[in-house]
Structure 1
Amino acid sequence: MKKTICFGSWQGCLDNGLAERELSCLLAVAAGHTDKEIAQRDGLSPRSIKGRIEAAMHKLGVHKRPALVAEAMRRGLISPMIITLCAVLIGQSATNDNSFNRIRRPGERRIENRVAMRCVDAFQVAS
């Protein structure tokens, strides 16, 4: 079973070669926090946070923080939680047969009525 860590609106998976502290720092960087803010949250020095982030950069083979977040997302190590929520909602609506929960476009019923009326008209003309 995969162990996940959540920070703000981001989540990350621990089965990826990164240490737990490196992953939590990576998630905080993805959420837009500075080294000082992460250090205050974790009760560490900003220098040790910088070291954890640099270790994560080395493991992923990147040299800048935006590239670190992009590479981690590309490899599937981290993801915004909104993507997970959308996937769950889409999966739920696809398996739901309740007609009240079906998504309809505003004019869909009107188009169905128009097509039905044309069929009736065509039948009457042919008769």
Structure 2
Amino acid sequence: MESTIVNGAWKGHLGRGLAPRELQFLLSVAQGMTAKEIAKAFGIAPGTVVKRLSNAMFKLGVHRQGAMIAEAMRRQIITPLCLLLAGLIAMHTATDGEMARRDRRPTERRFAELRLMRRAEPVGLIG
């Protein structure tokens, strides 16, 4: 049976290449926390967090934290808890393209109406 760690809106899977502490810190980074914030939350030195994240990046073969999160998701080491909801929203958006177009039309009309009004104003002042 595989163990998991849940941190906020993210779920991490142990036994897929990262140490438990590396996985905890990776999940915290995925939530948008900085090394200092993670260190404060865990009661450790910021340097320890930086070292653990550096180890995780090395194990995943990346050099940036954003790439670390993306690679961990690709390898299914971490997954967002709202993945099903995100999938449903993406499917709805893809199948209902006309709805997205309708959202842009009122803005375009409003600008067109403003242009017409501005052109009509000088004529009204002359006459």
TM-score range, shorter chain: 0.5 to 0.7
Q: CA RMSD in A?
A: 1.7
Q: Distance in 1 between matches of 2:12 and 2:73?
A: 9
Q: TM-score, normalised by structure 1?
A: 0.65
Aligned residue pairs total 88
Q: Distance in 1 between matches of 2:63 and 2:18?
A: 16
Q: Distance in 1 between matches of 2:17 and 2:42?
A: 21
Q: TM-score, normalised by structure 2?
A: 0.65
- The superposition leaves residues 1-53 of structure 1 with CA deviations (integer Å, 9 ceiling, x where unpaired) of 11000111000000111100000000000010000110011000000000000
Q: Distance in 2 between matches of 1:28 and 1:83?
A: 17
The aligned residue for residue 13 of structure 2 is 13
Report which of the two has the higher share of helix. Answer: 2
Q: Which runs of 4+ in 1 moved over 3 A?
A: 84-87
Q: Which amino acid aligns with 1:19?
A: A
Q: Which amino acid aligns with 1:81?
A: L
Q: Distance in 2 between matches of 1:16 and 1:84?
A: 22
The aligned residue for residue 41 of structure 1 is 41
The aligned residue for residue 94 of structure 1 is none
What secondary structure is seen at the aligned counterpart in 1 of 2:24? helix
| 1:8 to 1:43, Cα distance in 2 relative to 1, 3 A | same
What secondary structure is seen at the aligned counterpart in 1 of 2:82? helix
Matching of residues 97-108 of structure 1 within 5 Å = none
Q: Percent identity?
A: 49
Q: Distance in 1 between matches of 2:85 and 2:76?
A: 16
The aligned residue for residue 72 of structure 2 is 72
